Amino acid sequence: MINLTIDNQQIEAEEGKTLLAAATLAGIDIPTLCYHPAVPSAGACRICVVEITGGGQPGLVPACAYPVQEGLEIQTESERVVASRRMTLALMLARSPGATIIQEMAQEYGAEPVPMDKGDDDCIMCGLCVRVCQDVIGQSAVCFEGRGHERKITTPYDKQSEVCLGCGACAFICPTGAIDPADYCPHPLETIPNDFNCGLDTRTPIHIPFPQAVPNKPLIDRENCIHFITGGCEACKQICPADAIDFDMTDEYVTEKVGAIVVATGYELFNPDVYAEYGYGRYPDVVTSIEFERMVSASGPTTGELVRPSTGKPPKTVVFLQCIGSRREQGGLPYCSKICCMYTAKHAILYKHKVHDGQAFVFYMDVRSGGKNYEQFVRRVIKEQMATYLRGRVAKIFPSDGKLIVRGADTLSGTQVEIAAEMVVLAPAMVPAAGIRNLAQTLRIGYDEHGFLLEAHPKLRPVETNTAGVFLAGACHSPKDIPDSVAQASAAASKVLGLISHQTLTREPTIGIVDEETCNACFECEGACAYGAIGPKELKDRKGEVTAVVAYINEGLCQGCGACAVTCRSKSIEVQGYRDDQLFAAINATGR
Ligand code: SF4
Ligand code: SF4
Ligand code: FES
């Protein structure tokens, strides 16, 4: 370790570290422009100069490039340092008067532009873009060209460069925002839509999927990561203080043996672009409710500011359309999605909170507000937020004069209405998550014609399925709001605890029994059992020699469905409690 003093503070630093790294670790702030921890330092801009006042050759040195040395005494804000930064900034201000960061730093250090020809761009010639492209990305698509006043950043021969990947690293790292890779790149720039924000903004290849993700850790998207494309970059690895980046990690399948499974696969939204009359996908100001939700969220693409995608300005009139795909026997889904009435009311309130002088209209079929305080909430939206509720469907949306004309029916007044809206929010139906049918078949549980999973009994066993040990929670079972999903999930968790907190498994006695004397081991029953409960069993004599093989029913797996009993041609299987003689006795007793 190296001992030195920075601003009269005793500091220990690892050998090979720069003065900037040592000062940063000690909480001492030194301004920088041409420095980035992932890019080799060049000491080009000289904003980070500090003064060596003892322990070495006195003078000004760039902190980002000068290594720590034993016994050095450093001042980071001495008169000489401040004067040097002021002069540097005065030159930069003269060259790039429009660069905001330079204006701010110049003001802080009291720098005035020196008299010289004004530059016409914001580039301060720090070369960070050239270094990141060459040393980190490994492409060398941009370079310096010319001398003196003519010096500029460009591509070889001033032509768009085929080697430019369009990764945007240069634009990302440029301290003044002076560079636009589109000038250099002959192909479209790489932008990765941010799925969590419904593609309304972009993300980087290394990213945390969404705020509050569990685990709240970044992941690398291999398809877009420069390292996996070119073998270069590794910028994240260089700057990660925890040394946590491992490019060799691969996806793995994990196998666990469990006693119970809770299926909570959630839902997706019906795709509203099947209804051409609403113009979703054609008109940028027609959005879905989930897109609206992200727009008004503080962690959303506009950090909570509600703006029209087409103009970037707040919408003064918003029309909300409920039941998009729901309750539609023809060309849609027959069921009610249950949550849309209430979240539309919430959206109308949020809209009024964001745009105080805005007007909200809601087209509805019925307002289904069956929940604690739900009806009062909707009344509040109508009375206090002055949202206009219109009962009827919308027939057509079309653009006119920069607005969207929403033409629909108001069935209560029996009139046709037209509203000139600046944004339209569709509330699409809830549908089960993709792949739910495959999962259901794997778990051997039932599902309805829409793909929602079936409970064992709608009243008596609403969270259990026909397969013992598999439970349901949330919208995989049916459209549900958050309180209902939480209630069902709590019930499922209690059922699981009831199962695994006992030493022995108790279960219903209605299971299949094999008559070993008559079973002829054809094993047709094995294929008929949907629960995989039937297998072979060897019968042995006293000497331990196998005398016969018969079917065996695993009592833990058998669900008592009786499929095996009706399949067995030798009538060797019966379901306990449902033997033929018992059923006939029951029928006879009923007929008396
Ligand atoms: S474009 Fe930006 S990063 Fe490149 S030299 Fe100019 S100021 Fe520095
Ligand atoms: S966008 Fe092009 S010029 Fe800029 S860093 Fe990437 S490859 Fe280099
Ligand atoms: S930041 Fe150190 S010389 Fe530019």
Region of residue 53 (phi > 0: left; psi between -120 and 50: alpha; otherwise: beta)? alpha
- Residue 568 in contact with ligand 1 by CB distance below 6 A: no
Asked whether the beta carbons of 361 and 318 are under 8 A apart, the reply is yes
pLDDT of residue 156 exceeding 70: yes
Which band of pLDDT confidence, cut at 50, 70 and 90, is reported for residue 115? confident
Least confident among 22-36, 105-119, 216-230: 105-119
pLDDT of residue 97 exceeding 90: no
Q: How far is residue 524's CA from residue 533's CA, in Å, rounded to a whole number?
A: 13
Cβ contacts of 516 within 8 Å, gap of 6 or more: 537, 539, 548, 550, 572
Least confident among 7-16, 230-239, 358-367, 516-525: 230-239
- Residue 235 in contact with ligand 1 by CB distance below 6 A: no
User: How does DSSP assign 484-507, residue by residue?
Assistant: HHHHHHHHHHHHHHHHHTSSS---
The pLDDT, as a whole number, for residue 118 is 62
Mutational test site, ligand 1, from 174, 183, 184, max ligand atoms within 8 Å of CB: 174
In terms of average pLDDT, the best of 227-231, 452-456, 505-509 is 452-456
Q: Which ligand is nearest to the CA of 141?
A: 2
pLDDT tens digits for range 415-447 = 999 999 999 999 999 999 999 999 999 998 999
Q: What atom of ligand 1 comes closest to residue 132's alpha carbon?
A: 3
pLDDT tens digits for range 25-74 = 999 999 999 999 889 888 889 999 999 999 888 999 999 999 999 999 99
Walk me through the domains of the chain, giving residue ranges and CATH numbers.
Answer: 2-109 (3.10.20.740), 128-183 (no CATH), 192-239 (no CATH), 258-505 (3.50.50.60), 512-591 (3.30.70.20)
Region of residue 202 (phi > 0: left; psi between -120 and 50: alpha; otherwise: beta)? beta
| Cα(189) to centroid(ligand 2), Å | 10
| Cα(398) to centroid(ligand 1), Å | 45
In 3-state terms, what secondary structure has residue 165? coil
Mean of pLDDT values over 80-91: 93
Which band of pLDDT confidence, cut at 50, 70 and 90, is reported for residue 486? very high
Give the closest residue (by CA) to ligand 1 atom 8: 126
Mean of pLDDT values over 118-130: 82
Least confident among 80-84, 209-213, 421-425: 209-213
Q: Which ligand is nearest to the CA of 170?
A: 2
pLDDT of residue 295 exceeding 80: yes
Q: Which ligand is nearest to the CA of 35?
A: 3
Count CB neighbours of 310 within 10 A.
Answer: 16
Q: How far is residue 8's CA from residue 51's CA, in Å, rounded to a whole number?
A: 12
pLDDT of residue 132 exceeding 80: yes
pLDDT of residue 114 exceeding 80: no
The pLDDT, as a whole number, for residue 168 is 82
Which band of pLDDT confidence, cut at 50, 70 and 90, is reported for residue 527? very high
Least confident among 174-188, 243-257, 486-500: 174-188
Phi, psi (5° rounding) for residue 256? -125, 145
Choose between 553 and 188: higher pLDDT. 553
Mean of pLDDT values over 222-240: 86
Which neighbouring-strand residues pair with 551?
536
Mean of pLDDT values over 198-215: 91
Which band of pLDDT confidence, cut at 50, 70 and 90, is reported for residue 117? low
Residue 261: how many CA atoms within 13 Å on its side-chain side? 16
The 8-class DSSP code of residue 291 comes to H
What is the edge-to-edge ordering of all strands in the sheet holding 49-54?
9-13, 2-6, 73-75, 49-54, 59-62
pLDDT of residue 9 exceeding 80: yes
251: its two tokens: 């996806």
| Cα(132) to centroid(ligand 2), Å | 8
Task: Please state whether beta strands 49-54 and 73-75 pair in parallel, antiparallel, or not at all (unpaired).
Answer: antiparallel
Ligand 2 site residues, Cβ closer than 6 angstroms: 132-133, 137, 139, 141-142, 164-170, 181, 184-185
pLDDT of residue 191 exceeding 90: no
Choose between 190 and 395: higher pLDDT. 395
Which band of pLDDT confidence, cut at 50, 70 and 90, is reported for residue 489? very high
Rounded to an integer, what is the distance from CA 467 to the centroid of its chain?
Answer: 32
Choose between 194 and 468: higher pLDDT. 194
Q: How far is residue 314's CA from residue 360's CA, in Å, rounded to a whole number?
A: 13
The pLDDT, as a whole number, for residue 165 is 82
Q: Tokens 């809601």 appear where? A: 362
pLDDT of residue 124 exceeding 90: no
Mean of pLDDT values over 203-211: 91
Mean of pLDDT values over 116-127: 78
Ligand 3 site residues, Cβ closer than 6 angstroms: 32-35, 43-48, 62, 64
What rounded mean pLDDT belongs to the chain?
91
Which run of H or of E encompasses 23?
Answer: helix 19-25
| Cα(172) to centroid(ligand 3), Å | 17
